[in-house]
Structure 1
């Protein structure tokens, strides 16, 4: 709502220079300028164009299925439960052919590791004596749920005489009846689209359909107090003795073009549907114990290397694994599958005609190596098909950043 004496200029109306009383701006030569009235403000020290506002929801049209259009996730359709009634798949036999590591490979892997660490000397790796090698395995179970979430909210854009597909052209589809496909399975992605037949033309709520708004810098007066003479005008070369200057934003008109409607006065309002495809990942790492101790290889190292995939399953809903030889993996599968079911069935759904859950088990080869050099016993790990090394107890290292031979 506009206040004061501001009147928007109508089409065809002649524009005149800003005046104060009968005095023109700038004043005529020899004319004594009067002081600026106190209601002429200083210019806004940090003027910023106002951000477009949101149309009032109570002025929007109502459509079945879109009663709460506020951007919150929409409830999934009943078809989600169809996947939950599928029978469990038959058990698969799990076999593994993970290769074992030799002493030569263990030494070569350590030498390569030392060469990439400037604080490790190579003599220990070259001269060490092997005392024992325990060839083990680590198990990496992972579960991925690929879900689809939909939300809807009112949106708008300036109306430029574009074709409007309003409700008079057909019925409005429900949020879950609108077909949309992800570009690829198990890849996160977001897509937005206009809901068909929800568009309508409405006056711009920001400018009340006038196409322009009160100037945010001068407050609609068209003039601001001269900051060089503080408004007294005497002997001021910046305002020519007038005490005020024309607003640099509105050029003295007192109003600016409305950014919300792009000075058109009208908006195209419609419901925008947002579809999010998300990958939810959880995993569990288990280590095999040997006769000395349980492996102390950090789990995050196991996740970064390759191994043999001994089990993989993709279904609308996977069932917990219950036939793996190591019970810890079976228990982890049971817990994670149930957690995903509880977390995502309330607001997200499976993809129609596509798999949306994937689980797999990888077996990672691990060698726990014990050796001796210069009367110092130490151990290290070689893991993964890449023969990565974890050797925090390597005996020939320093902390000063120098290179040891």
Structure 2
């Protein structure tokens, strides 16, 4: 773990500025292009070539592609330096201006102003005791995979021609041409379904044994399987089987529901003894076909290396922060990046690669993307008498992070503003 300040103007023993070292790092790969045999090929050109091929081209499955551009939550400014450049002064492309006291207070006041029941007096009046630069490195490995599986789908067979094996051999799962459905690389998730050609078959419905009807469970519940009786009657619920309705004055009248018969037909089947099979809808057979379920998704591995001064900040804060992208490589399977003058970054890259997400056995890797970014973090400590608190200014967007303690909170947990703060 490196404990030296990240972007401070400290000079080494030979007089070279420490920040000058960053100019020797190379941005490996540019978003939107692939470097093949010394030429730059655009994504549009690769996709145009893919439309004319019989299967997914090697450019998609193993090439150096970037589509879309790296989405790290506005994390990275791509550093386009290269090996062998002359070492000069700090590059304004990635070195943020040093924060002065006025800017620090303005950022904290703005942060406090968006919090209900927080006072701005400490931000305006407390003394800035210390300003510390903290090193934070963010490494990611995105593995874009395609996963396929076949499920059987059944539905009532209503006749018509079948697309079965007599029309040709059933197409294999990974032989299906889904170029028209192929998404942009590194999308979080996309799913599609497609019929497998020549996979349709018919089979007898097991629910009704191919008859299309099933024995009525209401009026033939006591019958043996496969046998039923017609014209089974049920007692009338209006007159309880008497055929007459009794009145309080002692008179009787004919029951209107059963017309005085005392029995009514079965309400479930109309005394047919049979009901239509709900599985095959009376057809007696089922149509079965193979359905290919195809899922594209990005499996992400993320790792943060921070100095002790920034160790209390949650990692997700650094992942969404805007920093300097030192490395951006893409390949079918990424290998650790190489930095000529930094053993730490080489080791950090190797650790990120070694923790790659496991790929399901039903999937294959399409492409991987490996990035390493450095996020500038400033830790500020403010004091007043014997009291003190610290907060962080993170990334080029200058997001303020204040973990727990701020000396001017007035709700003491008694108002609903704390629920809003958790959002």
TM-score, normalization: structure 2?
A: 0.63
Pair 378,202 (structure 1): closer, same or farther in 2 beyond 3 Å? closer
State yes or no: 1:286 paired with 2:305. Answer: yes
Q: Which runs of 5+ in 2 are unaligned?
A: 1-57, 64-80, 85-90, 222-227, 247-254, 418-423
State yes or no: 1:347 paired with 2:332. Answer: no
SS of 1:301's equivalent? Answer: helix
Across the aligned residues of Structure 1 and Structure 2, the Cα RMSD in angstroms comes to 3.5
Q: Which residue of 1 aligns with 2:401?
A: 390
Q: Is the 8 A contact 2:382 2:389 kept in 1?
A: yes
Q: Which residue of 2 aligns with 1:362?
A: 373
CA deviation after TM superposition for structure 1 residue 119, in Å: 2.7
Structure 1 segment 45-84 matched on structure 2, within 5 A: none
Q: Which residue of 1 aligns with 2:132?
A: 134
Pair 327,214 (structure 1): closer, same or farther in 2 beyond 3 Å? farther
Pair 362,233 (structure 1): closer, same or farther in 2 beyond 3 Å? farther
State yes or no: 1:191 paired with 2:192. Answer: yes
SS of 1:112's equivalent? Answer: helix
> 1:317 pairs with 323, 333, 338, which one?
333
Pair 225,288 (structure 1): closer, same or farther in 2 beyond 3 Å? farther
CA deviation after TM superposition for structure 1 residue 200, in Å: 2.5
Structure 1 segment 293-308 matched on structure 2, within 5 A: 293=309, 295-308=311-324
Q: Which residue of 1 aligns with 2:214?
A: 213
Counterpart-to-counterpart distance in 2, 1:357 and 1:161 = 47
SS of 1:106's equivalent? Answer: helix
Counterpart-to-counterpart distance in 2, 1:395 and 1:374 = 12
CA deviation after TM superposition for structure 1 residue 127, in Å: 1.3
Pair 163,307 (structure 1): closer, same or farther in 2 beyond 3 Å? farther
CA deviation after TM superposition for structure 1 residue 198, in Å: 1.7
Runs of 4 or more, structure 1, over 6 Å off, are 228-234
Structure 1 segment 5-404 matched on structure 2, within 5 A: 97-99=94-96, 100-181=98-179, 182-187=182-187, 188-218=189-219, 219=221, 223-224=233-234, 235=245, 237=255, 245-289=264-308, 293=309, 295-323=311-339, 330-331=346-347, 333-340=349-356, 343-344=358-359, 346-351=361-366, 356-373=367-384, 376-391=387-402, 392-398=404-410, 399=412, 400-401=414-415
Counterpart-to-counterpart distance in 2, 1:345 and 1:171 = 28
Counterpart-to-counterpart distance in 2, 1:323 and 1:244 = 92
Q: Which runs of 5+ in 1 are unaligned?
A: 1-78, 85-90
SS of 2:171's equivalent? Answer: coil
Pair 186,216 (structure 1): closer, same or farther in 2 beyond 3 Å? farther
Q: Identify the range of structure 1 (200-209 vs 190-199) with the bigger mean alpha-carbon deviation.
A: 200-209
